[in-house]
Amino acid sequence: MKKEKTGLMQRLLVWREKHVAGKKFVLMLSFVVGILTALAAILLKQMIHLVQDFLTDNFSATGANYLYLVYPVAGIFLAGLFVRYVVKDDIGHGVTKILYAISRRQGRIKRHNAWSSLIASSITIGFGGSVGAEAPIVLTGSAIGSNLGSMFRMDQRTLMLLVGCGAAGAVAGIFKAPIAGLVFTVEVLMLDLTMTSLLPLLISSVTAATMSYILTGAEAMFRFSQDQPFEFGRIPYVILLGIFCGLVSLYFTRAMNYTESLYARCKGPYRRLALGGLMLSVLIFLFPSLYGEGYDTIELLLNGTNSTEWDTVMNNSLFYGSGSILLFYLILVVLFKVFASSATNGGGGCGGIFAPSLFLGCITGFVFSHFSNRFEFTPDLPEKNFALMGMAGVMSGVMHAPLTGVFLIAELTGGYDLFLPLMMVAVSSYLTIIIFEPHSIYSMRLAKKGELLTHHKDKAVLTLMKMEHVVERNFTTVSPDMDLGELVKAISTSSRNVFPALDKDGVLLGFVLLDDIRNIMFRQELYHRFTVRKLMTAVPVRLYDTDSMEQVMRTFDETGAWNLPVVNVEGKYLGMVSKSKIFNAYRDVLVQFSED
């Protein structure tokens, strides 16, 4: 049966090569990717709502519900078991994994990522995990694109484009936001937007959004009606909101990284489950708004018009009916959301920070405007409009993606009339956070390792290059115990003028340079008097096989060398790297990924 499948696939590949041109086939694949990612997004949403409705349907709105102490722990426990014993691979940090696949794996994503994140995140979020479904579905979409391209043996550049198509389709499909899907791929995944890549990305985004409209209806994800038009007198407050959102984004980013590092240090999955489960359950019990994605709270704040409606955000909790502490309650929710999200993922669950960013932004905008309206000198600030703008602000800050924040919020809610203030808040937030954090929450882990592909052409090309592709292994090695006569024989068979000296274990001890022995190499009376040990010079600096190409080029610049040795962590010689080899490889990669 396997041979029959292989034969069928081979015939399909041959037929495609004969009848469908490469660029046309990429467009066809981008269309298929759009359909599949939209179906995956809809399936994930349905699974989450099914689980959540089943578990919480009978909860009391007027008091505490003690099952909040049980469900989140059960959810991250079941998701952790699924990942550990079924998937047997790490599927967390979905967008970071995509960035890594683009920069270090030539756009190749493991097959199980096309389905594993769907199951794990639906269990996690359905049971109350305080994370979002968007990052898992983006990883799922990218995995669909990557594996579809691999199936048809697409080249590296096309694979990376299909990864972007999958991500764009996933965002467009789950949010019904085709422009946001396209912009997200450019801003967050940092794929260069050329005429060659624009059309496939658009096809995937539009196809996915259209599928979502057909299957789930034409309504925007969040209902929003603008009761008060934007007034230019509110511009200073809009900019202040953007700065405030930038600071909230900074708090969320740094607190998330810190708490996740604490969970990483906690050895053993069950210890992490106990710590994460306890924290998550207690926080959700006290603040039920933290349960799941939090979209109910967003819907409430975007459509509420008076205190009676806003106070219902405290339903299902110990604070029910305490409208006087609404602002205090919401501020605590903002402060504790990051701990609930990190506890979810750190304890063994699976989810992303798309939804937490929207959730935090909505509450931040509402709190800012509601608090400002208490002062007589403040013009009337419509809470629902500022809640909407806050969503764009925090998303822009956390993801370092102002355009994504603007277009996503506009498409999510249909709030296009607020486009100008949305842009002001997004830009203000972004400019605030980059003062403190140069990289987004997604990319900072890779940036620290030098593994991040960016829009900076020089750094992007160096990131795509790998050490094993530039190491030259045709240098003749010598032993430190060789005499000059044996060394001359080795020189006569080599076209190089550098000879690495290795001990019996292959550890690099030094170099013999042809220029250093040129004046004695033809004096036969000295052949048995000198050994390599006496003739070799110390190695000025060693490169390691784990070094990034950016580090390698920095070392060449600092030393002024033309050839440098490469060793492993044990000091064993692996080969040499020359500037000329790097320049040739650099040019090849640059040509391959240049704009058409």
**Residue-wise pLDDT tens digits, 365-394:** 999 999 998 887 777 888 888 999 999 999
**What does the block give as tokens for 351?**
């989810």
pTM: 0.75
**Residue-wise pLDDT tens digits, 305-354:** 787 888 888 887 777 777 788 899 999 999 999 999 999 988 888 888 88
Of the CA atoms within 13 Å of residue 456, those in its CB half-sphere come to 8
**Facing residues of 531 across strands?**
483
Phi, psi values for residue 582, rounded to 5°: -65, -40
Query: What's the rounded Cα separation, in Å, for the pair 428 and 520?
Result: 70
Phi, psi values for residue 501, rounded to 5°: -100, 120
Query: What's the rounded Cα separation, in Å, for the pair 235 and 381?
Result: 11
**Facing residues of 564 across strands?**
577
Q: What region, left, alpha or beta, does residue 492 occupy, with left being phi > 0 and alpha being psi -120 to 50 degrees?
A: alpha
Count of residues for the chain? 596
Residues 6 or more apart whose CB falls under 8 angstroms from that of 10 comprise none
* 512 and 536 Cβ atoms separated by less than 8 Å: yes
Query: What's the rounded Cα separation, in Å, for the pair 239 and 105?
Result: 41
Residue 591: what residue type?
A: V
Neighbours of 437 (CB within 10 A): 19
Is residue 495 exposed (0-12), middle (13-18) or buried (19+ Cβ within 10 Å)? Answer: exposed
Give the containing element (helix H, strand E) for 462. helix 457-464
* 128 and 107 Cβ atoms separated by less than 8 Å: no
Residues 6 or more apart whose CB falls under 8 angstroms from that of 15 comprise none
Domain annotation for the chain: domains and CATH numbers:
22-216 (1.10.3080.10), 232-455 (1.10.3080.10), 459-592 (3.10.580.10)
Query: What's the rounded Cα separation, in Å, for the pair 270 and 353?
Result: 24
Q: For every one of its 596 residues, what pLDDT tens digit does the chain have, with 9 covering 90 and above? A: 445 555 666 666 666 666 666 678 888 889 999 999 999 999 999 999 999 888 888 777 676 678 888 889 999 999 888 988 888 777 766 666 677 666 556 567 888 888 888 899 999 999 988 888 888 898 898 889 888 888 877 777 788 888 889 989 999 998 888 998 888 888 877 665 566 678 899 999 999 999 999 998 877 777 777 777 778 888 999 999 999 999 999 999 999 888 888 888 887 788 888 888 899 999 999 998 899 888 888 888 888 778 788 888 888 777 777 778 889 999 999 999 999 999 998 888 888 888 899 999 999 999 999 999 888 777 788 888 899 999 999 999 998 889 988 988 888 877 677 888 999 999 999 999 999 988 777 766 655 554 444 444 445 555 555 666 677 787 788 888 888 888 888 878 777 777 888 888 888 888 888 877 777 877 777 777 788 888 887 777 888 877 777 777 777 777 777 778 888 878 888 888 877 666 666 565 555 555 44
What's the angle, vertex CA 328, arms to CA 294 and CA 363, rounded to 5? 35
Is residue 547 exposed (0-12), middle (13-18) or buried (19+ Cβ within 10 Å)? Answer: middle
* 544 and 566 Cβ atoms separated by less than 8 Å: yes
What interhelical angle do 94-104 and 134-151 show, nearest 10? Answer: 30
